Chain A
Amino acid sequence: MKSEPTSQYMFLVRGGSCSSGHSPEEMQAHMKEVYNWIDDLTKKGIFSAAQPLTQEGKIVSGPGLVSDGIAAESKEAVGGFFILNVASMDEAVRIAESSPMFGNGGRLEVRRIAALTACD
């Protein structure tokens, strides 16, 4: 079966950093959910890469114009990203909807990674 041509999409994980109110058991259960989701994507050949980001960050606006990054507690803070191979934005959104990342007000920003060859 010839599969549809795919593009790479990046899911930016915003907000939703776990508060200290969660029990170890709940945290571990959440981690397993994330793994199951990723395992499933890996089996389907969709998963490409993922990395967490540490909390510390700086915003550099020019030489000598350095300020602190977005606080980790902020809803806008990016906690990590996923890169997936999918055929369309619609499919990427569907996959994002199926993810277990939404606890504590977490959100996923879905962005297509621009191809080098064509102007999208």
Chain B
Amino acid sequence: MSQQGTSAGEVADHFFRHEGAKVIATLTAHLGTHQLQLAEDVVQEALLRALQTWSYHGVPENPAAWLTQVAKNLALNALRREQRWNEKQDGIAAEQERWLSSPAEDMKHETFADDTLRMMFVCFHPELAAEAQTALALRTLCGFSPAEIAAAFLTSEAAVAKRLVRARQRIRDLALPFVVPEPGELSARLSGVLHTLYLLFNEGYKASTGDRLVRNDLCHEAIRLLTLVTEHPATQEPRALALLSLMLLNAARLHTRTDDAGHLLRLHEQDRTAWDQAMIQRSIVCLRQASQGGGLSVYHIEASIAATHCLAVDAASTDWPRILHLYDQLLAITGSPVTAMNRSVAVARVHGPQAGLDALRSIQQRSVLEISHLYYAIGGTFAAELGQTETACAHFEQALKLATLPAEREFISRRIEECHGKT
């Protein structure tokens, strides 16, 4: 449109979101974590100015540098104002003032990756509650608005805003440092980062009532952040690569898990030709890298299970004995009843539905599962396969009582109809 700038098409998807998040990380690196709110505010204002100016003028040659420069100027002005109004407070440190006054250099990928990784260790600090961690990460690392975060977690915008305020306050109170943890502490802290990214991904992956686009974005943001973790020398551990592989394998199938009407599709009902083969290839490369250098994590096993599904040409040729073997390994590590429940499906595929039912019924801490619709849905499926229609029906009825998400309820209702069709 304009002679000065490039066309709008050249601003990549999510440019405002991701570039804004980068500038927040860079500002926080220089101003300290106690100024997180200030960094967020000035970046929001810088984006607003970009919107107002670029809409008439066209996008500048280097939009990232433009945004950084405006945000730095705004931060400098805000800090100077703050200082004037509150003389007792320490002035802006000379170093900060020098940096804020300097021209915005081109953001090098390494610098950005460094700042973002450190920001991740702040957001995912164990002193913050799990829900505060994910909300804060989506806000500062991914550039989501409170409304978008609320949509993703099916909660209110006010609740998210409150959560964010408390999280920032806690960061200030604890004076959390903007650093990658020291080697002695790194392993445990990385576990927390990986686990939270895993939760974030699952939040997007699970069939929720939320907007499908928002959910896809959650998955892709988790993958984007985890990719940074796996590329950084300090944190590129095999378990991080294994988790990345697992996420990619699931993301590759994300769009085939429901039909056009939003109905859940079982693995054997999904259109395998629509799976994202490039993503599957990338995940296999990750899994291969993850298996070098030792250390077997649950992520390795879960990724191997997902890979076995993805690599089967069709549902019938799925290597269920291998999957069962992997579940045996996984169960040995986690000892979790949920793992045992999932394992029972593999048992049924290898040894028949009666064996699956036996496996399900012999789970030690079964009471934990009895609040889950999945437990009854799986039991119902085994019973139906055994021709025990009435038992199957009773199981599905129980599952329906426990399921909350519409897509899941609809799925179970269809199973009940199938049972009635047979009686």
Contact = CB atoms under 8 A, between A and B. Distances in A.
Nearest to B213: A25
Interface string A4-36: 000000000000011011111111101110111
Contact of A28 (B7, B11, B41, B144): B11
Contact of A79 (B14, B20, B41, B52): B52
A42 B3 CA distance: 12
Bin the interface of chain B by size: 20 to 34
Interface centre among B1, B2, B48, B55 (most CB of A within 10 A): B55
Contacts of A80: 52, 55-56
A22 B145 contact: yes
Given A35-B1, A38-B1, A25 B16 contact: yes
Contacts of B7: 35, 39
Contact of B57 (A18, A25, A52, A82): A52
Given A28-B17, A42-B1, A47-B1, A23 B52 contact: no
A52 B55 contact: yes
* B interface secondary structure, majority: helix
Contact of A39 (B1, B17, B54): B1
B147 interface: yes
B15 A52 contact: no
A51 B57 contact: yes
A50 interface: yes
Contact of B48 (A18, A35, A36, A47): A18
B347 to A, nearest CB: 45
A17 B52 contact: yes
Given A18-B48, A42-B1, A31 B55 contact: yes
A30 to B, nearest CB: 7
A27 B56 contact: no
A72 B2 CA distance: 25
A35 B9 CA distance: 9
A79 B144 CA distance: 26
Nearest to A79: B52
A39 B57 CA distance: 12
Contacts of B145: 21-26
Given A18-B51, A28-B15, A31-B54, A23 B1 contact: no
Given A20-B45, A38-B1, A50 B17 contact: no
B14 A25 contact: yes
15 contacts: A20-B41, A23-B17, A23-B145, A25-B14, A26-B145, A31-B50, A35-B1, A35-B9, A38-B1, A47-B1, A50-B2, A50-B57, A51-B56, A80-B52, A80-B56
